[in-house]
Amino acid sequence: MTLITTPYWWEGGSPLPTFSTRPPAKVELAVIGGGFTGMSAGLTAAQKGAQVALFDSGIPGQGASTRNGGMIGAPHRPGFVTELKTYGEELAHALTREGIEGYEFTKSLYTAGDIDAGFQQTGRIQLANTKPHFENMKMRAKLLNSVQQQGIQVIERDAIPQHINSDIYFGGLFYPDHGGLHPRMAHDGLMGKAMSAGVAVHANCPVTNLEKNADGFLLTTPLGKTQAIRLVMATNGYTTPSPTRWLARRIFRIPSFLIATEELPREVIDRVAPGRHMMVESRARHSYFRPSADGKRILFGGRAALVPIDEELAAKRLHETVISIWPEAVSWKISHCWRGFTGFTFAMIPHVGEHEGMHFAMGYCGNGVALSPWLGRKAALRALGDAEGETAYAQTRLEARPYHIGGNPWFMGIASPWWRFIVDTMDRRQAARDRREI
Ligand SMILES: Cc1cc2nc3c(=O)[nH]c(=O)nc-3n(C[C@H](O)[C@H](O)[C@H](O)COP(=O)(O)OP(=O)(O)OC[C@H]3O[C@@H](n4cnc5c(N)ncnc54)[C@H](O)[C@@H]3O)c2cc1C
């Protein structure tokens, strides 16, 4: 079977709309980046009556927004306990509350009836690969349920087979209100809604230079120049030093890889994943997996490396991890392997901000399906000077590091082999210790 290296999600689907051609000479709001963040920013501003032009380097959605795992729910990467330590009680609570609010906003966007995003409220199970991981999870569930009434359920080891048929886990947490969607359908639906609201979408139109002037920003593209009064940057993991080194120094990209199995018999999926949930592991390799939206395949994602590697190698590494969970997967064929870039802040939490008049929302750290439409909306409202744009995510840290000059994060190339060796060794040793104690 030849490995297909474009996203499984790109197969089929509705034809692309007709995009705008020459960029306008003048516009009220320019949005750079046509993923979930940019489309939501454009839609919000157009609904508020602004004239909006959106620019994307390629086909809008070609970034992470149509490449992701489609898992949708509220938590941030650092977790509530770290946020408490970093930001103090008030802001940590505000971030958690707004995370839930953002998820509810995005869920209603995709379930109101005018966008078919293939959303299913499947629940998400977070699986503990080691005993200490499970102890930490239990503490976290207790804290979150007491302060935020999140309804998180602790799943003891003996109840795991009801959710996933694997004997490698020591327990888990179940988030019943999380779900899964079809990323391309979600993105294209959002894009259709933004275009119907009046957003002019310019595809294959990279913004190569930004010049601040008395009237706002002068954008340069290969197809012409546009003078915009206001600007929202929505480039996340695809942010490059041109047109803005300031942002590129504060956001770094990490690739995430996904594989899709060939279609499997229904009884196989029923046997290996009886809960049909979204599933994530606690191992540092960040594995996340799910049945496909049509329930016929297993999609499996993770950090096959911290730098872009060949899809064949990534597929092999991810398949090995699948086999470690379900030994029978050794006979499954892998039909697709693709990658996309996630955008990270050094503080590991998204940020909505403004720098010399340039507004932006990004840094979802691999967890942006729920938050990107919400924070894109916030960025647009802030650019328009609307008080509804207030957000706790404007108070998170956005730092540069002297060793990151923007663009390719060379430090990840050095870290990648060590990271794989260290996390694999730590995970193996801990699992062996835990097994001896059972
Ligand atoms: C493989 C993978 C799996 C993931 N799985 C999940 C998941 O299951 N759940 C979850 O919550 N999150 C997941 N994520 C993260 C999630 O997909 C992102 O956080 C989200 O899509 C970010 O959307 P965005 O619009 O901000 O950025 P993107 O969708 O990446 O869009 C950025 C756009 O900016 C454009 N651009 C960049 N520079 C310029 C320029 N100079 N001019 C014009 N255009 C420009 C790019 O072409 C691109 O289209 C995953 C990410 C990846 C890569």
**Of all protein residues, whose CA lies closest to atom 2 belonging to ligand 1?**
68
171: domain CATH number is 3.30.9.10
Q: What are phi and psi of 116, to 5 degrees?
A: -100, 100
Q: Are residues 259 and 327 in the same domain?
A: yes
Q: Are residues 171 and 194 in the same domain?
A: no
pLDDT (tens digit, 9 = 90+) per residue, 398-438?
999 988 888 777 766 666 666 566 666 766 666 666 555 54
The tokens of 108 are what? 């209603």
25 is a domain residue: yes
pLDDT (tens digit, 9 = 90+) per residue, 102-147?
999 999 999 999 999 999 999 999 999 999 999 999 998 998 888 7
157 is a domain residue: yes
Q: How many domains does the chain have?
A: 2
Q: Are residues 323 and 421 in the same domain?
A: yes
85 is a domain residue: no
CA 169 to chain centre: 25
pTM greater than the 0.75 cutoff? yes
Q: Are residues 318 and 264 in the same domain?
A: yes
Q: Taking residues 386-400, report their average pLDDT.
A: 96
Q: Taking residues 225-237, report their average pLDDT.
A: 98
Q: Are residues 47 and 163 in the same domain?
A: no
109 is a domain residue: no
250: CB partners within 8 A, 6+ apart: 345, 346, 363, 398, 399, 400
111 is a domain residue: no
pLDDT (tens digit, 9 = 90+) per residue, 238-285?
999 999 999 999 999 998 999 999 999 999 999 999 999 999 999 877
Q: Are residues 220 and 312 in the same domain?
A: no
Which residues are near ligand 1 (CB < 6 Å)? 32-38, 55-58, 60, 62-65, 67-72, 206-207, 234-238, 240, 243, 256, 258, 288, 301, 340-342, 362, 364, 366-370, 372
Q: Are residues 257 and 338 in the same domain?
A: yes
Indicate the helix (H) or strand (E) that contains 172: strand 171-175
84 is a domain residue: no
CA 63 to chain centre: 11
CA 418 to chain centre: 25
Q: Are residues 262 and 315 in the same domain?
A: yes
**Of all protein residues, whose CA lies closest to atom 53 belonging to ligand 1?**
340
Residue 221, domain extent: 8-68+184-251+346-407
Q: Are residues 16 and 63 in the same domain?
A: yes
